[in-house]
Structure 1
């Protein structure tokens, strides 16, 4: 019988959504990141430093290549990014607001990521911010992002928020409080449409992507399971003068599933409009 270490949220979906072996996981991540087209990485540099990204959260065999497309360029910022604010939807436990854990670190097969306790304390007074270990215990939407982050960044602390019933404005208020500078990266975890036939999913997801790139914060939960945190980011991005760029858009029918009922995956990067590129 295994016992979790007090204060550490153990990996819940290692061995299912991604490999449970550290060496196998590291190898899979390296292949996914290395397979990202060089042109995408070059364009990311030309477009400027990402302040925020949206990445999918299915099993790596399904959505890993799409997630890798938006994570690979972050390697160039590995010495700069020191804090990751990570938001994803709750799938198993209903919660009102945005839920923090009581843990002080999250574990994956690649090691532990310490939580940014000062940043967490800075949002604790907001009425929409709650503490719920139950919301985090089995939640995959946040966990599957961590091995990518552990691979492309050097050292960073984490602010993990499981988003339940909340408004886009409430999410945006939390993002505003945690915005920081170049040391802070915002990551929104969301898949797109669910269980549509391939052709319909492609049309639906293309339309959703157009709304996201336009910073139109009216995405619904049929378009994206992480619609609430996505909409919150879109509001904040508009306020801060960020532009959104579609990095990759595919579905499970393109990667590892049949095409009768697919799940859509999108990767997006958000950069300042007036970034000076040298």
Structure 2
């Protein structure tokens, strides 16, 4: 049975009539500056969540940038603060579908399930039932993006590093957009609001969540975590619009502030300059363990960003150890240090590495993109979607799970053999199949170097 989350604030925060709602959003978007031709699509938006007559014109400055992304963005991770239910952590929705006057939006249950594996995330439908901080964004997303899947998250009292960890786990690739919901100061007079919000804008532009006080933004928890994640990943930020209810549709004695921002991922391939550093760090970690010295500390800011990697050791062309992380949950530099040591000394398939084996040992580091769940009707459908030499694959069913890096295609170039061996690795029969079989694919950038 499909579980629906019905619209809770239609007719209060925005029109309940579909035609009127569409007209109002179209008017807001038409008044906002359009995206420049050829401009990149934002990875993240920060936008307000008040009633449309108050904050709609400001939110439209963010959503107008998505018109060129229609058909390209298929998942939206939407996080906002809890206004009505007090709790700790981050609440997912148990619904399969959210509804608004503009129609239904499917929930990405695979991503929700993945996030619920994190210790700070749990299902709490009462946090979503009457919460407006997420719902008011959905009609804007339906209008600009068309068909997409939603990952709705309500943030309670949560450390911002935990918020950042959740966003990192849901980060995805260009198919994923992150939207963070917040209003700014509340119920100050017009001039006080402008001064307070100006300080908040400065903090957000500097990606400095420490400078955002409890009275400056009701969504300071999700915004703080988002800024932390963005700063680690090297995103740039642009302020799009800052106004208050005294500028849009209300009196000026008690106003609420609103702002809209777009955040963009950096251009170019960061592996061009960090690849050699990853290899040096992995070698240094292994040698430090052999010499009974402390593990090295990554000193490049690029290695402080979250990342997932596998470290592979080979000797004489044969595997000598391979350990890694399928999901980015800590800084990439820390992931390399830990996985290099484990590949050398804690892979259960091999004895611990000895100093005598360093020559001729080869080492490679594979940095993974976030895994994306695949949709398929049968095993043949799955096999037909696999791209030899490109896709890494994670399979799971019945509590069993296994992963192959894209480099495994060198030994198993046939998709059927590739999948059969991966099933065997997971402890499944090679002809195993069930309605619950899941698969996610990812890519990896591999850097290699010969040991000294």
Give the TM-score normalised by structure 1. Answer: 0.94
| Contact residue 106 and residue 150 of structure 2 kept, 8 A | yes
Deviations 1:151-210 (A, max 9, x none): 000211010001101010010000000000000000000000000110111111111011
| Contact residue 167 and residue 229 of structure 2 kept, 8 A | yes
Farther-moved stretch of structure 1 (265-274 vs 184-193): 265-274
Q: In structure 2, how many angstroms separate the alpha carbons of the residues matched to 1:123 and 1:6?
A: 21
Q: In structure 1, how many angstroms separate the alpha carbons of the residues matched to 2:203 and 2:65?
A: 23
1:201 to 183, 187, 193: 193
2:65 to 70, 73, 77: 73
List 4+ stretches of structure 1 deviating above 6 A. none
Q: In structure 2, how many angstroms separate the alpha carbons of the residues matched to 1:209 and 1:52?
A: 16
Deviations 1:188-237 (A, max 9, x none): 00000000110111111111011101111222221100000000000000
1:147 to 121, 139, 148: 139
Q: In structure 2, how many angstroms separate the alpha carbons of the residues matched to 1:188 and 1:257?
A: 24
| Contact residue 49 and residue 272 of structure 1 kept, 8 A | no
Deviation at 1:274, TM superposition (A): 2.9
Q: In structure 2, how many angstroms separate the alpha carbons of the residues matched to 1:106 and 1:221?
A: 30
Max radius of gyration: which structure? 2
Deviation at 1:73, TM superposition (A): 1.3
Deviation at 1:148, TM superposition (A): 0.1
- Match of 2:259, SS? strand
Q: In structure 2, how many angstroms separate the alpha carbons of the residues matched to 1:175 and 1:68?
A: 23
1:245 to 238, 246, 250: 238
Residue 259 (structure 2) pairs with residue 263 (structure 1): no
Q: In structure 2, how many angstroms separate the alpha carbons of the residues matched to 1:6 and 1:73?
A: 33
- CA 32–123 in structure 1, closer or farther in 2 if over 3 Å, else same: same
CA RMSD in angstroms, aligned pairs only? 1.4
Q: How many residues align?
A: 268
Q: Residues 212-251 of structure 1 correspond to what in structure 2 (within 5 A)? A: 212-218=204-210, 219-251=212-244
Partner residue, 1:84? 76
Deviations 1:103-138 (A, max 9, x none): 111100000100001111111111110111110000
Residue 163 (structure 2) pairs with residue 174 (structure 1): no
Which ranges in structure 2 are unaligned for 5 or more consecutive residues? 270-452
Deviations 1:72-112 (A, max 9, x none): 11011111100000000000111210001111111000001
2:33 to 30, 37, 53: 37
Q: In structure 2, how many angstroms separate the alpha carbons of the residues matched to 1:207 and 1:238?
A: 19
| Contact residue 33 and residue 64 of structure 2 kept, 8 A | no
Q: In structure 2, how many angstroms separate the alpha carbons of the residues matched to 1:130 and 1:165?
A: 13
Residue 268 (structure 2) pairs with residue 272 (structure 1): no
Partner residue, 1:9? 5
| Contact residue 94 and residue 164 of structure 1 kept, 8 A | yes
Q: In structure 1, how many angstroms separate the alpha carbons of the residues matched to 2:2 and 2:74?
A: 24
Deviation at 1:6, TM superposition (A): 5.3
- Match of 2:36, SS? helix
Q: In structure 1, how many angstroms separate the alpha carbons of the residues matched to 2:268 and 2:214?
A: 32
| Contact residue 77 and residue 176 of structure 2 kept, 8 A | yes
- Match of 2:209, SS? coil
Q: In structure 2, how many angstroms separate the alpha carbons of the residues matched to 1:183 and 1:149?
A: 14
Q: In structure 2, how many angstroms separate the alpha carbons of the residues matched to 1:221 and 1:76?
A: 36
Deviation at 1:239, TM superposition (A): 1.0
- CA 110–275 in structure 1, closer or farther in 2 if over 3 Å, else same: farther
- Match of 2:8, SS? coil
Which ranges in structure 1 are unaligned for 5 or more consecutive residues? none
- Match of 1:27, SS? helix
Residue 149 (structure 2) pairs with residue 157 (structure 1): yes
Give the TM-score normalised by structure 2. Answer: 0.58
Q: In structure 1, how many angstroms separate the alpha carbons of the residues matched to 2:263 and 2:18?
A: 31
Farther-moved stretch of structure 1 (106-115 vs 29-38): 29-38
